[in-house]
Structures are given as C-alpha cells and as structure tokens.
Amino acid sequence: MERSLIILKPDALQRGLMGPILTRLEARGLKFIGLKLMQVSDELARKHYGVHEGKPFFAGLVSYITSAPVLVVAIEGKDVISIIRNTVGATNPAQAAPGTIRGDFGVNIGRNLIHASDSPENGAQEVSLFFNDSELLAYDRSIDQWVTE
C-alpha cells in the first residue's frame, strides 16, 4: 500500500477546476482517504518544498502555493505513486502529454495546477505533513472488487 499527497494548487481553485481534476482521479478508481481546503502557511510551504530550496524558482513557488487556498487530498492504494504521476503529466504543462491533467488544463510551468508525491517514501511523509491521523479515514468500498483483481 502506498500513499500519495495531492495538492490542487491555488490556480486550480481560482480557475474552478477542482471538480474536473478530482473527477479524473476518482474515475481512475483511486481511493481518497482524506480531503480538505486549507491555506498553506509560509512555514509549511518551505517544509513541503524544502528539496527545492536554493533553486531559482523557489521564492516564486512558495509565493504561488501560499497565494490562495488549496485543496489537499490523501490517496491510498497499490502503486498509487506512479499511477497518479502518470495521470498528472510532466512538470511543465507546455510539454505534458494530452490526456494528462497538466497537458489538458495548463500551459505554464509556474501554474501547473497540481502536486503529486514522487515516491512512496515522500508520499507517506507528505501525507503526514498535511494531515493528522484523525483526518485520514479507513473504510471499504464495495466497488473495489471491480477496480482491482
């Protein structure tokens, strides 16, 4: 079982794209275990994007992610890291394949709509950075037998 942290970034909310983006993840068969609207603080943004500190786009990235509310989503399941990264598409929407979220909804690397964890280790860590245990739900879905063999 892997966990992935998804962030629908401020541009996704401001452009009214929460529904269309969530629909793609949900229709794929992915299981949401936590979901909330929040305003990311400067401190949380710097922690979450700590690996990018020192890069030329870091200051812009922190101000982008803290500029307006975001929707954070925790997803759990087998192979969810690679499944979601493939659904999200390349970092730069200008180069992302059609059919991916970034390839269908974005044009610019600085406004690429969505974050998705890039490894099982980072997924587990990022989910616990954004969610308390009490905000993550364990439940069964009757459709699971039709989603996974």
Among residues 61, 74, 81, 96, the one that binds ligand IDP under rule CB under 6 A: 61
Set 3, 115, 123, 127: catalytic member: 115
CA distance 144 to 135: 22
Q: Of the ranges 33-41, 52-60, 70-78, 138-146, which one interacts with ligand IDP (CB under 6 A)?
A: 52-60
Q: Quick check: 126 and 48 in contact, CB under 8 A?
A: yes
> Per the structure block, which two tokens stand in for 14?
């401001």
List 115's β-bridge partners, or say none.
7
Under rule CB under 6 A, residue 115 binds ligand IDP:
yes
Choose which of 95, 110, 141, 144 interacts with ligand IDP (CB under 6 A).
110
Q: What residues contact 37, with CB distance under 8 A and at least 6 apart? A: 69, 70, 71
Q: Please select the residue that binds ligand IDP; options are 39, 41, 91, 148, rule is CB under 6 A.
A: 91
Closest to Mg ion by CB, 29 vs 46, is 46
Shortest distance (Å) from residue 118 CB to ligand IDP = 5
> What whole-number distance in Å separates Cα of residue 46 and Cα of residue 119?
19
